[in-house]
């Protein structure tokens, strides 16, 4: 009996492979050949990239060496140029520093200003002028305006700077007040407030105090509100923010210039049954109803109204009492012109006043001549033309002998 191995070997025998497709020779055209061209091109690319990297590496190494050994070689913008640029565009942003700026935008609350800083600066409307304004344009602040500002703070929200023109104007106003005080000048001040001691008046944009003892009239404070009155400087102290003014001193200087017969321009302040009060340079004069016109004036309101501007003649001036009497009657070219044609009276005022003064001077000369007519020792006599002059030398030195005078012919 054959062994198990022999049986298995006999059963596993395969037929010969002569007729199998596997026994056919393999064609050379189907043989996979190695791709040598692709490998060569890849190697060439890698070599080019390597050379480029080496070239860049060399360039960076050379640049690093130049920066280390000669950093400014071939650079046109030098270190001095850099410092000059910093001096030109950089500035001290501390509070109180003055800077130049150009307004480029305005709104209801203020204006944006370019001061060549890292961010724009802002000018609030309340800092745009020493006077109270509602919009910056009221102070002449418009886009394109270039001005000097002062830094007063910083906005923490956006790091922008806050500017002011008011602070600069405030300093200039104090300087102006000092000059006016030194020159002893009379200025106009508007009364804006009052307290127990006096009134507050604005001069050159600064609020000053006028004590009641320095007000020439007996008018109460309420009547002076919103009025412009003449003032002189008594004390100007910027450090203490103290400005004291006097209306009494200003009135004394103004009143000294009011001569009898002079013509001044005034404004009607109020009407009374007996006349009109006229403001003539801060002084209230009385134009009595009898001095308005040669014609009778039954109702002053038909001739004058508060606010009217007219020319008046000064008739009298009581400096101690501060009373001034005025007249338009003396300025009428013809009686009644103040009622019929007040414009003509205004135009002819100086001419009529000159004629009036000449008549007064002539009358005074006649009165003096009458006093001297019987006083030959004065050496003066009155000519036939009414001119007062020295005695003529026609008479003999020893006097006139009346016995030598021929008797009058009776025929």
pTM of the model: 0.47
Dihedral in degrees, nearest 10, Cα atoms 13, 19, 22, 25: 140
pLDDT digit string, tens, across residues 55-82: 888 888 888 887 788 776 766 666 677 6
Cα distance between residue 280 and residue 265, in whole Å: 6
User: Of the ranges 26-40, 226-240, 299-313, which one carries the lowest mean pLDDT score?
Assistant: 26-40
Q: For 110-150, write each residue's pLDDT tens digit.
A: 999 988 766 678 999 999 999 888 899 888 899 999 999 99
Higher pLDDT: 376 or 161? It is 161
Both tokens assigned to 401: 């002998």
Return the number of other C-beta atoms located less than 10 Å from residue 219's C-beta. 13
* Token duo for residue 294: 């040669």
Closest C-alpha to 315, from 269, 264, 281, 253: 264
pLDDT(171) > 80: yes
By the 10 Å C-beta count (0-12 exposed, 13-18 middle, 19+ buried), 346 is classed as middle
Q: Is 299 a residue whose pLDDT tops 70?
A: yes
Q: What is the pLDDT of residue 405?
A: 38
Over the chain, what is the mean pLDDT?
77
């Amino acid at each position: 009996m054959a062994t198990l191995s022999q049986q298995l070997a006999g059963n596993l025998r395969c037929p010969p492979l002569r007729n199998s497709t596997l026994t056919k020779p393999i064609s050379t055209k189907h043989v996979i050949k190695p791709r040598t061209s692709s490998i060569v091109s890849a190697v060439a690319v890698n070599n080019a990239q390597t050379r480029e990297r080496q070239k860049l590496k060399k360039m960076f190494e050379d640049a690093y060496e130049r920066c280390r050994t000669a950093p400014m070689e071939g650079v046109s913008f030098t270190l001095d140029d850099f410092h000059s640029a910093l001096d030109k565009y950089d500035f001290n942003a501390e509070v109180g520093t003055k800077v130049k700026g150009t307004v480029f935008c305005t709104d209801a609350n203020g204006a944006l200003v370019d001061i060549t800083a890292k961010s724009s600066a802002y000018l609030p409307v309340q800092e745009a002028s020493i006077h109270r304004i509602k919009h910056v344009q009221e102070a002449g602040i418009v886009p394109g305006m270039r001005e000097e500002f002062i830094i007063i703070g910083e906005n923490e929200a956006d790091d922008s700077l806050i500017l002011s023109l008011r602070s600069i104007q405030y300093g200039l106003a104090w300087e102006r007040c000092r000059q006016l005080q030194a020159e002893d000048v009379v200025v106009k001040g508007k009364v804006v407030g009052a307290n127990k001691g006096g009134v507050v008046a604005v001069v050159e944009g600064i609020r000053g105090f006028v004590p009641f003892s320095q007000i020439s009239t007996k008018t109460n404070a309420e009547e002076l509100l919103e009025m412009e009155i003449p003032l002189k400087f008594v004390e100007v102290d910027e450090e203490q923010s103290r400005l004291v003014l006097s209306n009494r001193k200003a009135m004394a200087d103004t009143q000294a210039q009011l001569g009898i017969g002079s013509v001044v321009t005034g404004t009607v302040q109020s009407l009374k049954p007996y006349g009109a009060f006229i403001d003539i340079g801060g002084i209230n004069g009385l134009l009595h109803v009898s001095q308005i016109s040669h014609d009778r004036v039954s109702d002053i309101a038909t001739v004058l109204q508060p606010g009217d501007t007219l020319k008046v003649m000064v008739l009298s001036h009581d400096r101690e009492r501060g009373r001034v009497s005025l007249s338009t009657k003396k300025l009428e070219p013809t009686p009644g012109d103040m009622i019929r044609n007040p414009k003509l009276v205004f135009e002819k005022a100086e001419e009529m006043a000159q004629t009036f003064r000449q008549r007064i001077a002539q009358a005074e000369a006649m009165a003096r001549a009458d006093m001297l007519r019987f006083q030959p020792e004065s050496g003066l006599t009155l000519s036939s033309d009414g001119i007062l002059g020295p005695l003529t030398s026609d008479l003999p030195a020893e006097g006139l002998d009346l016995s030598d005078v021929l008797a009058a012919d009776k025929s």
